[in-house]
């Protein structure tokens, strides 16, 4: 299912907050949040579901910008490096980070029906995985947990045959 084209007021508020935080994080780190990087982040936050690079490129082209996939991927790489977005590996899509600038591992609940993803930041899950890795003498370089299932809306739709 495609995400709605028009963001709701909650999404707009979250996008404004995320862009404000991104500017602060980038300023504190002495890196540039260029116009393109900012626009890519804005596109990601204005959608209710994670987006792939080509969907982002389509929005940029609708904006009248010229661009190729490498341009979008460079912007996404920057946003990932700064901790402003997350990459959902199982979907090869991107979503905004609720705690930009703070070091944390990603934990996500992903609805297989509608594509919605919800970010969790459960320290117990992170600690358990770290403890288990240490017990196995395994060095953790990155940690992302993606849980595939159904959101409440899709569960209800499934029960009602919609």
The residue among 119, 127, 124, 77 whose CA lies nearest residue 98 is 119
Residue 30 and residue 61 in one domain: yes
Q: Any residues with CB less than 8 A from the CB of 90 and at least 6 apart, and which?
A: 110, 146, 148
How far is residue 26's CA from residue 83's CA, in Å, rounded to a whole number?
10
Tell me if the pTM is above 0.85.
no
pLDDT, tens only, 73-109: 999 999 999 999 999 998 999 999 887 766 667 899 9
pLDDT at 13 over 90: no
Domain holding 66: CATH number? Answer: 1.10.10.10
Residue 67 and residue 111 in one domain: no
Count of structural domains, the chain: 2
- Structural domain span for residue 54: 1-99
Residue 2's pLDDT band, with cuts at 50, 70 and 90, is: very low
By the 8 A CB rule, do 148 and 112 touch?
yes
pLDDT, tens only, 126-150: 899 999 999 999 998 878 899 999 9
Residue 116 and residue 131 in one domain: yes
Residue 25 and residue 85 in one domain: yes
pLDDT, tens only, 26-36: 999 999 999 99
By the 8 A CB rule, do 54 and 69 touch?
yes
Of 70, 99, 128, the domain-final residue: 99
């Amino acid at each position: 299912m495609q995400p709605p084209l028009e963001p709701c007021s909650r999404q707009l508020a979250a996008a404004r907050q995320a862009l404000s935080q991104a500017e602060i994080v980038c300023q504190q780190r002495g890196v540039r949040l260029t116009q393109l990087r900012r626009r890519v982040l804005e596109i990601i936050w204005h959608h209710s579901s994670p987006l792939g690079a080509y969907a982002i490129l389509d929005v940029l082209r609708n904006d009248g910008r010229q661009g190729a996939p490498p341009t979008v991927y460079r912007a996404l790489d920057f946003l990932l490096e700064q901790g402003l977005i997350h990459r959902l590996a199982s979907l090869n899509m991107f979503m905004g980070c609720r705690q930009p600038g703070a070091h944390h591992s990603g934990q996500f609940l992903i609805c297989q029906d509608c594509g919605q993803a919800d970010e969790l930041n459960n320290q117990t899950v992170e600690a358990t995985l770290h403890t288990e890795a240490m017990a196995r003498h395994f060095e953790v370089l990155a940690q992302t947990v993606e849980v595939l299932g159904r959101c409440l809306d899709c569960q209800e739709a499934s029960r009602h045959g919609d």
